[in-house]
Amino acid sequence: MTPYQQIWTIARLELGRVFFSKRSFWVYILAIFPSIIFLGHALEAGLKKRNWSADRVTSAATLNQVQTGMTDDQVLALAGKPISDVTRKRRIRRDDEDPDAEKQPEVRRYVMYFDGKKRVDLRFEDGKLVARNTHELMNFEDDRRVYATMFQFFYLRLGIFFGCLGIFINLFRGEMLDRSLHFWFLAPVKREVLLLGKYLAGLIAASLIFGTGALLSFLAMALPHDPTEVAAFWQTIGPGHAFWYVAAAGLGCVGYGSVFLAAGLLLRNPILPAIVMLIWESINGFLPDVMQKLSVLHYLQSLCPVPVPLPNDMPAVLKMLLAPAAPSSIPVAVLGLLAVTALVLFAAMQSVKRLEINYGTE
């Protein structure tokens, strides 16, 4: 039996335990959470559309004729019954010492129309239209940016991070707690081979769980939109975006998996490596270039196809924390991540050779 066959055999034997471990059941919740959010968003938009369409749809051409300065009676006469109409009167308090109080309108009226795709919000003050805003019920462009934000800030930083913590740290530490690690140590395999077999099992499970989660949430984000728009997206950049999100999720498992596997060999308490790693990944933007290359998140963010939109007025410190300081090219990001992983796995191999079974005193 070659070492490669042994690695595969160990991974095969471990897979069931990794997939169905009670300790890491919550990993599935992390993986499907974004899909649930986007499905919920699509469901909410669909319900709103159905309700508003049933209530009243005003043509876009009619709504385009509505101009600021028109009175509420004129607008209602032109556009007909709105889907929502709320009036608020200003409260006048005797002890009101606000010098500007007299300048504020007595009555505010908020009226909403729906043209079948967009919602038009109109704001009247003392009977005159002063503001008009249009919102698309489902905006593909916006949703893709929301997805990018969710993917980088939740999925990579928290979902995959803590998911890998749950899966990989238990590969050795969990077996020590279950008093079953000696089963592997008594097999005729090198410890390094055992480590790689277990890592492969964790990697297959984590990649499948989080890769599928990324793809499902991407589909949940994209599919509820206008079919023409979605078809055009899939014929152009869509497959590339889906691929890189799934690849970033998979490579996230590669990187974080190696780190937490090594941590499981060295430390008893999984909270410590999680906190240290989380801090390291968070402050990475402040570190010199060389140090940034030792971060998993740095490479993963470089792989994401859509940059996260950060508001211009965001404080510089916060911007530095949230955005990669100098994104690497895709080949550099992939190779860099694999190099970091190889380095960590090499250190883990040295550690596992010295690892001892010590469930307690005899």
Partner 1 sequence: MSAPEIVFDNVSKFYGEVLGVNRVDLHIPPGITSLVGPNGSGKTTLMNLMTGLIHPNAGVIQVRGISPYAPEKLMRILGYATQYDAGPRGATGYEFVHTGLVLFGFPKAECERRAWQAIERVGLTAAAKRKVAGYSKGMRQRIRLAQAIAHDPEVLILDEPLNGLDPLVRAETIALFRDYAAGGRHVILSSHVLQEVDVFSDQVILIANGMIVAEGQIKSVREEIHEHPSQFLLHCRDASRVASLLFAEPHISEIKLAPEGAGLLVLTRNREAFAAALERIALSGIDIDGVIPTDENVDALYEYLIGGGK
Binding-site ranges for partner 1 (CB under 8 A): 1, 5-6, 9-10, 13, 16-17, 178-183, 185-191, 193, 353-354, 356-359, 361-362
- Please, what is the minimum distance in Å from the beta carbon of residue 30 to partner 1? 23
Half-sphere exposure of 210 (CA within 13 A, CB side): 35
Q: For residue 291, what are its two tokens?
A: 């140090």
Q: Are 348 and 265 in contact (CB under 8 A)?
A: yes
Q: For residue 217, what are its two tokens?
A: 């949430």
Residue placing its CB nearer to partner 1 in the complex, 17 or 144:
17
Give the residue from 337, 254, 248, 233 showing the smallest Cα distance to 293: 337
- Please, what is the minimum distance in Å from the beta carbon of residue 199 to partner 1? 16
Q: Are 74 and 190 in contact (CB under 8 A)?
A: no
Q: For residue 130, what are its two tokens?
A: 């002063």
274-283: which pairs have CB atoms within 8 A and are 24 or more residues apart?
Answer: 274/161, 274/162, 274/165, 277/161, 278/161, 281/157, 281/161, 282/321, 283/321
- Please, what is the minimum distance in Å from the beta carbon of residue 196 to partner 1? 13
Residue placing its CB nearer to partner 1 in the complex, 97 or 362:
362
Residue placing its CB nearer to partner 1 in the complex, 81 or 182:
182
User: What is the end-to-end Cα distance of the chain in Å, rounded?
Assistant: 35
- Please, what is the minimum distance in Å from the beta carbon of residue 21 to partner 1? 9
Residue placing its CB nearer to partner 1 in the complex, 312 or 358:
358
Helix axes 191-222, 330-354, angle to 10 degrees: 140
Q: 123 - beta bridge partners?
A: 110, 131
- Please, what is the minimum distance in Å from the beta carbon of residue 188 to partner 1? 4
Residue placing its CB nearer to partner 1 in the complex, 154 or 185:
185
Residue placing its CB nearer to partner 1 in the complex, 60 or 187:
187
- Please, what is the minimum distance in Å from the beta carbon of residue 197 to partner 1? 9
